[in-house]
Structure 1
Amino acid sequence: MKHLVLVLSDPTEGQEEEYDRWYEDLHLDEVLATTNWKSAQRFVLKDQLWNKSAHNYLAMYEVEADDPKDVLRQLNATRTKRQQSTSIDIDKTAVWVFSETGPKHEKP
């Protein structure tokens, strides 16, 4: 079954450059190397509608797993294999696992 892991986060105040470097140059590749997750990509918020987001950055991971609860278990179990950074404001970070409910629709 396909799952998406969505991580909404922001840098620790004053550490924006380190946050971007750590996330893009190190963290995404380390997550892929230490889990069986399939892909990772970051996005920055540029516009919004209705409720204002508390976060400016999104990391999206594609994962294949039978049990959605195994997705975050695997991430936590391999945490010590990845370099951690104080440049991410972990207290304000949100992590969600969404499971597919139907096929992907694509423009013909």
Structure 2
Amino acid sequence: MIGREDEFNRWYDEIHLDEVLQISGFKSAQRFIVTEQQMQPSQSHSYLAIYELDDDDLEKTLQNLREASWLTMNNALDFATIDVSVVRALGETKFTSL
């Protein structure tokens, strides 16, 4: 929420990530912030969080998240602005040869 970014970031970094990683099936988590330098002038979001999930039973992992009513939420989080996508890699990570 506008004007509450510090509170949101503190909650996300100090509470939320650690709690989510306690849910069975979650392996890692990392946050990113959108930089000022962009290929497109307008960005719909300011932050990105990437969670690595256990592929063995993806539906069970997502169900575990849905059932985690014990997660500490913060009203600085605006659910109307959140997009959640579950993706799967289409191949191995490629690296530059330079």
Q: TM-score range by the shorter chain?
A: 0.7 to 0.9
- Structure showing greater radius of gyration is 2
Structure with more relative contact order (C-alpha pairs < 8 Å, separation 6 or more): 1
Unaligned runs of 5+ in 2: none
2:95 corresponds to 1:106 = yes
1:52-79 Cα shifts (integer Å, max 9, x gaps): 221100111111223544443232122x
Normalised to the residue count of structure 1, the TM-score between the two structures is 0.77
Unaligned runs of 5+ in 1: 1-11
Q: Give 1 or 2: higher strand fraction.
A: 1
Root mean square deviation of aligned Cα: 1.8
Shift of 1:92: 0.7
2:38 corresponds to 1:41 = no
Of the three residues 74, 89, 97, the one matched with 2:86 is 97
Matches within 5 A, 1:49-60: 49-50=39-40, 52-60=42-50
Of the three residues 58, 65, 79, the one matched with 1:75 is 65
